[in-house]
Structure 1
C-alpha cells in the first residue's frame, strides 16, 4: 500500500489522497455514504440466536471525505467495531435502538477504537479532509441485516436521532 500517512496540506492534495485510496483499494460507494471495500469475510459460519447463519465476522475499509456523512443506519444482530486508521479524527454517533440521547465519540489515532452494540443506530462524519477506518462486524455483515433510517417512515424514527445525520 502507498503511504498516505502524511496529512494533506490543501484541499487539492486531500482530494488526491481520497481519490488515490479509492483507486488503490478499488472502493465502491456505500449506501450509507462514503466508500468501502470488504477486505475479509470469515470462512467460519456461526448461527445467531435468531437462527440466521452468518460468517463469523467481516471487515471493510471505509472512507469518508470532507462534507460526506455515514447516515444513520443500524446493523441488526451484530456488533460493529470502528477502528481509525488514518486521516482526520472521525465523529461517531451511537443511539440505542429505542432512542434516547445520541452519544458522540471521536475516533483518532490517539483513541482509535469504538464499539457500536448490535441493533444500535450509528452515524459518522469526518472532522477534516478525510477519515479512513476499518469496520469489523460480528457475526458477519449482511445487507439483509442493514437498515437506513431515512428509508423508514419518520413516525418510526427513534427519539434522539439528529436530523442532520439522516
Structure 2
C-alpha cells in the first residue's frame, strides 16, 4: 500500500483552501453559457472539472457548498467520511471506500447546494479520491462555511459543524 506522501509527491498535490491536498486534472473545453445554468452559478462554466483530492487523518475538508453536483470516487487508502447537510437540513454521513459489506461506497454524490465536508477517521490513515463537478467547479460558486452562521441555521448539527469548520465572521 502506498503512503499519503507517495501520492502527494507523485501526483504533485498542493494544499487546498478547505483542507487536504489536491490537483486539478481535467477542465472541459466545452463551456456552458450562464444562460444555461442556475442563478447560483456566477458566470459561464466548463461542462465538467475533475481533481485528485487527498486527506490525512487529523485534517478535514471544512464544510462548504458549491453550485453544482459533485461526484466523489475512491482510489486508495482508508475510508473517507463525507458529511452532508442537505438543503432541507438533514445530516447524512456517507462512507467513501471499497468495503461495500460494511456500508462503504466507491462513489458518493453530493447534490448542489448542500453543505459538505470530509475527514479520514482511521488513525494514521489517509484517503486518495477524485472529485468530479458538473457544471465545472469555479471558486466564484464556492462558499466556505462560517461556523456561527451554520450553527445558527442548523442548531441540531452543532457538534459536527464545530468540528468541521475553521472560521467565524470575526476571522
d(CA) in 2 for partners of 1:155, 1:85:
34
After superposition, the CA RMSD in angstroms is: 1.7
Partner of 1:61: 52
Offset, 1:156:
5.2
Write out aligned runs for 1:1-166 (5 A): 6=1, 17-47=3-33, 48-50=37-39, 52-76=43-67, 78-97=68-87, 100-109=89-98, 110=100, 111-128=105-122, 129-150=125-146, 154-155=148-149, 157=151, 158-159=153-154, 160=157, 162=160, 163-166=162-165
Offset, 1:118:
0.4
5+ residue gaps, structure 2, are 166-171
d(CA) in 2 for partners of 1:155, 1:62:
27
| TM-score scaled by length of structure 2 | 0.80
Report runs of 4+ in structure 1 exceeding 6 Å deviation.
none
5+ residue gaps, structure 1, are 1-5, 8-16
Q: Measured at CA, do residues 105 and 56 of structure 1 come closer, stay the same or move farther in structure 2, by a change above 3 Å? A: same
How many residues are treated as equivalent by the alignment?
A: 148
Partner of 2:168: none
